[in-house]
């Protein structure tokens, strides 16, 4: 890991908003116009927290950028009458408060559901069960629409934009990549604090009636003093500000790199020259990358960036894959109901864009082998099923879709026919009925073996920084530098 990232949680917190700003949709065009690709890469490197292969000049720029951004933010804090030491203290308090909030089931109306109930640290902050959709609500019997995503490796997801362009020096510069970014399956939340708000108030999740209910609980909790320490003794006098503080604390906790983006998998060690892949894993990586085979890297890039940043295994884009309808989701028993992703029902601002209907965000594949539910609706429960679907969706559709009363296959049964043209037909989805599947059984086994190398934990204990029980980041001497 880049030593600077272990130096202080404070500097990371200070640059978070600036990095987010640099990565926001509105600034991508600006960065391209000014040809300031270096700054964008610096922002990405700061957020990724790894620059072991970055050139020395770029490292100098990185350090300068971090210090400049931090200085700028502390200067703004000073203008507001907040000292540098107060900023340091507030960041530390927020991280500790965020951890306590994250694990507190009393933040739910049922008193049984915490953030960690669905985003379990033991499962890479993803779901601990094989349920397609986790249950919640006031009686813990409400089931929503979508599978629980992992919270890991989302720190530098760009803000949502309908038109995403790569920087000028990248191969696809000038190409409109279409809808990209955002933190949810439909990209409707851009920041951690915005995302945290959704489950707290969702009727099928933590089901609080209002922010005031949440604030009232925090005020009575054993950690109420932390919110006062962070925002002042009168913070509970203003419900709106207190709730904003709660969301900010959750966001601060989810920025801790040792827990939420550790880059501690065996594949990371392999990229750093510290581990090897087995013959099967190497074959799997080849098939994963091969445009004529899995073509997985098209949406899930697997290579180091040109500047040494580690791969995120997502391009943050959206695609309609035509996955089968999951009849275990109660809403799907209504034949007139469809979860259309970008164009509704949970996202409402893009309902007038039929070309987006059926599109969902491409998730990272880091830690995917630790999951037991896949795709936005959790319809599959093993990776073998997932890759079987990829290989045979178009060659043997009868294996994956329900049949109509006349016996014909109801292909793309979770998408109205008028939107079928939106479904992805790039490899491996370029086959036709009767063709041989593009992936053999051996290919699938090999790719799954490779994906298992993406699980975090391999580098744990090998000079990987640890988070203390309080939730504070380790100091530089504890981090031990990069692996």
- Residue spans of the domains in the chain: they are 3-82+157-180+257-262+460-479, 87-149+184-253, 266-454
Average pLDDT over residues 97-125: 97
- Give the residue with greater pLDDT, 36 vs 272: 272
Backbone region of residue 191 per phi and psi (left: phi > 0; alpha: psi in -120 to 50; beta: other values): beta
Per-chain mean pLDDT for the chain: 83
Measured distance CA(378)–CA(133) in Å, rounded:
7
pLDDT band at 460 (very low <50, low <70, confident <90, very high): confident
Average pLDDT estimate for 396-415 = 96
Distances (CA, A) of 138 to 25, 108, 153, 213: 36, 8, 30, 13
Domain at 87-149+184-253, CATH from 3.30.450.20, 3.90.1150.10, 3.30.565.10, 1.10.760.10: 1.10.760.10
Q: How far apart are CA 62 and CA 456, in angstroms?
A: 26
Q: What is the pLDDT of residue 86?
A: 75
Token code pair at residue 217: 């609980």
Nearest by Cα to 193 from 240, 259, 252: 252
Task: Scan for tokens 């309908």, then name that residue.
Answer: 162
Asked if residues 248 and 94 have their Cβ atoms less than 8 Å apart, the reply is yes
pTM of the complete model: 0.82
d(CA 79, CA 84): 11
Instruction: Please tell me the class of the 266-454 domain.
Output: mainly alpha
d(CA 56, CA 51): 10
Query: What value does the mean pLDDT take over residues 285-293?
Result: 97
Residue 399 neighbours by CB distance under 10 Å: 12
Residue pair 42/307 in contact (Cβ under 8 Å)? The answer is no
**Residue 14 vs residue 310, higher pLDDT:** 310
Is the pLDDT at 264 greater than 50, yes or no? yes
């Amino acid at each position: 890991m880049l030593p600077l990232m272990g130096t202080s949680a404070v500097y990371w917190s200070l640059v978070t908003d600036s990095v987010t700003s640099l990565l926001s949709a509105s600034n991508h065009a600006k960065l391209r116009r000014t040809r300031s690709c270096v700054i964008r890469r610096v922002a990405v490197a700061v957020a990724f927290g790894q620059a072991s292969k970055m050139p020395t000049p770029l490292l100098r720029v990185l350090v300068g950028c971090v210090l400049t951004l931090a200085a700028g933010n502390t200067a703004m804090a000073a203008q507001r009458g907040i000292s540098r030491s107060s900023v340091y203290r507030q960041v530390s308090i927020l991280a500790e408060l965020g951890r306590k909030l994250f694990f507190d089931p009393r933040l739910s109306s049922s008193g049984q559901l915490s953030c960690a109930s669905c985003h379990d640290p033991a499962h890479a902050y993803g779901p601990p069960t094989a349920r397609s959709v986790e249950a919640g609500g006031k009686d813990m019997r409400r089931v929503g629409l979508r599978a629980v995503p992992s919270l890991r490796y989302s720190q530098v997801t760009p803000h949502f934009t309908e038109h995403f362009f790569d920087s000028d020096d990248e191969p696809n510069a000038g190409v409109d990549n279409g809808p990209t970014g955002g933190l949810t399956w439909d990209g409707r939340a851009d920041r951690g604090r915005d995302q945290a708000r959704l489950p707290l108030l969702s009727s099928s999740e933590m089901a609080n009636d209002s922010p005031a209910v949440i604030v009232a609980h925090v005020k009575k909790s054993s950690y109420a003093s932390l919110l006062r320490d962070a925002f002042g003794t009168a913070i509970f006098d203003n419900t709106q500000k207190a709730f904003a503080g709660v969301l900010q604390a959750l966001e601060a906790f989810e920025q801790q790199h040792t827990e939420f983006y550790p880059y501690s998998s065996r594949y990371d060690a392999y990229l750093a020259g510290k581990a090897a892949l087995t013959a099967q894993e190497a074959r799997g990586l080849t098939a994963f990358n091969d445009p004529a085979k899995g073509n997985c890297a098209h949406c899930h890039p697997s290579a180091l960036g040109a500047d040494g940043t580690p791969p995120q295994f997502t391009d943050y884009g959206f695609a309609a894959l035509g996955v089968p309808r999951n009849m275990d989701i109660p809403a799907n028993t209504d034949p007139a109901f469809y979860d259309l992703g970008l164009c509704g029902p949970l996202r409402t601002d893009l309902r007038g864009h039929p070309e987006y209907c059926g599109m969902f965000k491409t998730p990272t594949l880091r830690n995917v082998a630790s999951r037991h539910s896949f795709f936005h609706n959790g319809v599959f429960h093993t990776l073998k099923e997932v890759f079987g679907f990829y290989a045979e969706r178009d060659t043997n559709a009868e294996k994956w879709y329900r049949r109509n009363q006349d016996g014909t296959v109801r292909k793309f049964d979770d998408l109205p026919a008028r939107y079928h043209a939106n479904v992805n037909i790039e490899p491996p989805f370029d086959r036709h009925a009767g063709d041989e599947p593009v992936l053999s059984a051996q290919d699938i086994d090999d790719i799954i073996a490779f994906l298992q190398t993406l699980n975090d934990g391999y580098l744990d204990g090998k000079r990987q920084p640890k988070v203390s029980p309080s939730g504070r980041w380790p100091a530089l001497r504890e981090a031990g530098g990069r692996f």
